[in-house]
Structure 1
């Protein structure tokens, strides 16, 4: 067994015993026989405060419970097995809970949190098998044979307390990020409802806001996709190809060639252009492009005219996202289009007040991004520690 790089010592300074490789059935009791699924109709009738767990974590809340103790839940099926480094494949549960038949239920013989930490990002793919064309499944018999390295109970306790402390910091930082995001939403509501108005630098009032149709103050166009399977459109391409799920990103997964651009409907956008997702899972998402590249047909590029502020337009579209989707995507069906976006009507202040609003919201964005960076740093620290502890 490979020795962990990071070890704790006993309170008297002595070294704890060496870790031992054990299987799950040696360190935990499996309680799969007690898990019970709840169908969607039952769940509607039983909405409550008890968390209902499945393979993907909390599935909802009901009014009854199966367990009332510390448990470790391990995915039985799902796509997270192949993305274990970024997605958690285990859950640590305390108190009352209900678990369906898509998560294995384990009661640790030792420290529950240590068992959870050992499994949270473990590569268990060799214990899984295909169920259907591509979906992987972790059967109970295979799950019980998964091997993990176990220290003494005393060292388990020290490691669990240490990681719990970091997790507490991470959760508080997540709450901080959420609080700032809620703060921004509140500020946007007051600004766009005109409950709060800025004044000019000389203290005078700005003019009243005027109703404008987006198509009258912006130029718009969408792109296209080079024919798939045509190697010369993609191989060794140097042009970033932006898809709707990448409008917030600073890099793309795909690149296309000049032939791919020139022989298709793909269109080039510049850094600073407004990108709006027209359809798919990201419908209504909007941002200012961080990439110079080509866009596909699912993205609308918006370029303001006559000095209208890009950031202001992005924020007013973002603020009205749910209204737009609710109005034009009935029951989640259908697509947005250039014509729909061009027809949207909003109240606009003068350019100078647009700039002040944009600057205000940009300042909040900077705070949010710094808080997110702090969160990412803590998460990266935990990931590094886990790699040192759980080899």
Structure 2
């Protein structure tokens, strides 16, 4: 590991600016490693005493005991139990960037608790020297992540050795400064948690509205209706209202960092939102038929899914001005309205659980699941006779979508703010 550029972070709280420098410590000077469960078979799991799972360590910086698995521990076994302050680490992962993830026990376990066999624990010699709340951030700091990633070894799966891990050097402040840093970052985490809970409530509220504003199985009308509309809803086939344009199998040899933007299955997200995921955008220089060019306000539908639960099958995207023009790739269709059917009402229908159940139940394929144009066109739905009622429902649900998108953006900004703080509250490595 390269030497620490300075024993001070870029940003310090005023009361510590003239205080003592951070101290360089090898991890071996901070604590001992403790192994996880040994000698267990599949029959031992499912009941018994709590144990911290690999997923808990990988997913969270703090252990929540409510999420623990269960394992039988017999009286003649010599297994290590966990205690407050233990820092748990994953020993391997599929990518070097995900190895050595850490999670901390900030509270005392209420009963003997164990650790899965694919992780190990660092047990601090002194909890004043490395406090639990500070540990959760130190072992997620850029200086630590850069160092641990450099240690990862392997080809198909990456691992770290305990010896190399213990030899890593980190910079640690005194206990008072640790408390201040932990307090600052934990307050931000609490704010992120609060906004995340608000997001879940908005999503739950929209799900409930969807169930009440669209007829459920066996019903001829929805449970809730706006008072100004009294006409009955009608049953119809989607084929009476839309034309479908199939995508084209653009060749990978023409994929480029420039050219025309493609929409591919990777642009569809698992979330309930119906907007374009820009994180997986591809471009092509291949010649194309104008019929495969999609523009803002075009409604697209995904006809394939790699996920076991088929979460993405039948997902819609309504292109926006920000998305611009895109080329329609294979396994995606463009849905063009040909009747007095509101496009945004149809978009919301494509997001209903009943539509997803139909697409999933009629899908073909084993590993990769597919739907078809025929299945989409044969879909039976019940819609309002009055176009105004379609618009009112779409407007109501779209306004909630906008609130959900704004809430997601707020959470993303908070995460970026936390990332920025992590970069300046901890010392940096030389490049």
Task: State the TM-score bracket (shorter-chain normalisation).
Answer: 0.7 to 0.9
SS at match of 1:46: strand
Would the aligned equivalents of 2:22 and 2:172 in 1 still touch at CA under 8 Å?
Answer: yes
Spell out the pairing of 1:83-232 with structure 2 (5 A cutoff): 89-95=101-107, 96=109, 98-108=114-124, 109=126, 110-121=130-141, 122-123=145-146, 124-130=148-154, 133-193=155-215, 194-200=222-228, 205-229=229-253
Describe the superposition over 1:124-175 as per-residue Cα deviations: whole angstroms up to 9, x where unpaired.
2211111xx3322122222222332111122112211221111111111111
Would the aligned equivalents of 2:237 and 2:380 in 1 still touch at CA under 8 Å?
Answer: yes
Corresponding position of 2:77: none
Deviation at 1:243, TM superposition (A): 0.7
Spell out the pairing of 1:1-391 with structure 2 (5 A cutoff): 1=4, 2=6, 3-10=8-15, 15-31=18-34, 33-35=35-37, 43=45, 45-46=46-47, 52-54=53-55, 56-57=58-59, 61-64=68-71, 66-79=81-94, 81-82=96-97, 89-95=101-107, 96=109, 98-108=114-124, 109=126, 110-121=130-141, 122-123=145-146, 124-130=148-154, 133-193=155-215, 194-200=222-228, 205-229=229-253, 233-235=254-256, 237-247=258-268, 248-249=275-276, 251=278, 253-259=281-287, 261-262=288-289, 267-279=292-304, 280-281=306-307, 282-290=312-320, 291=323, 292-320=325-353, 322-329=356-363, 334-350=369-385, 351-390=387-426, 391=428
Give the TM-score, by structure 2 length.
Answer: 0.77
Deviation at 1:36, TM superposition (A): 5.1
Query: Using the alignment, how far apart are the partners of 2:172 and 2:208 within structure 1?
Result: 49
Would the aligned equivalents of 1:206 and 1:353 in 2 still touch at CA under 8 Å?
Answer: no
Name which structure has the greater RCO, CA cutoff 8 Å, separation 6+.
Answer: 2
Greater CA drift, 273-282 or 358-367: 273-282
Describe the superposition over 1:54-103 as per-residue Cα deviations: whole angstroms up to 9, x where unpaired.
4633796434594353432223222464379xxx9322344545432333
Query: Using the alignment, how far apart are the partners of 2:44 and 2:360 within structure 1?
Result: 28
Structure-2 change in CA distance of 1:159 and 1:336 (3 Å): same
Would the aligned equivalents of 1:22 and 1:147 in 2 still touch at CA under 8 Å?
Answer: yes
Query: Using the alignment, how far apart are the partners of 1:98 and 1:161 within structure 2?
Result: 28
Give the TM-score, by structure 1 length.
Answer: 0.84
Give structure 2 stretches of 5+ with no counterpart.
74-80, 216-221, 269-274
Deviation at 1:40, TM superposition (A): 6.5
Structure-2 change in CA distance of 1:83 and 1:216 (3 Å): farther
Query: Using the alignment, how far apart are the partners of 1:14 and 1:289 within structure 2?
Result: 51
SS at match of 1:179: helix
Structure-2 change in CA distance of 1:346 and 1:115 (3 Å): same
RMSD between superposed Cα atoms in Å:
3.0
Query: Using the alignment, how far apart are the partners of 1:207 and 1:94 within structure 2?
Result: 60
Give structure 1 stretches of 5+ with no counterpart.
none
Matched residues, number = 372
Query: Using the alignment, how far apart are the partners of 1:41 and 1:286 within structure 2?
Result: 43
Query: Using the alignment, how far apart are the partners of 1:50 and 1:304 within structure 2?
Result: 55
